[in-house]
Amino acid sequence: METVKDAVIQMIHDMPDSISINDIMAELYFREKVDAGLQALDEGRGIEHQEAKDRITKLGKISMLTSSFSNTKTQ
């Protein structure tokens, strides 16, 4: 069984030599979130497809409202 340390070393090894620490941290964060999500699904803690779509739609509307508000403040 591969350890977390082994997986991180392999991940960094597979990245280009010009990679920054911020890029490494972002990749680690992304992988941790994906792994946590997959574990939640395995444990039956997921949500239905339609609920996910509804949440994304709602977030998009909120995002549009906040970006419209910030644009009016800068004008």
- Residue 18: strand, helix, or coil: coil
Same domain, 36 and 56: no
Same domain, 29 and 56: no
CA distance 35 to 12: 17
Q: Are 8 and 28 in contact (CB under 8 A)?
A: yes
Same domain, 4 and 17: yes
Domain membership of residue 5 as a residue range: 1-44
Same domain, 28 and 64: no
**pTM of this prediction?**
0.61
List the pLDDT tens digit at each of the 75 positions of the chain.
889 999 999 999 999 999 999 999 999 999 999 999 999 999 999 999 999 899 989 988 877 767 765 665 555
DSSP string, 62-74: HHHHHHHHHHHHH
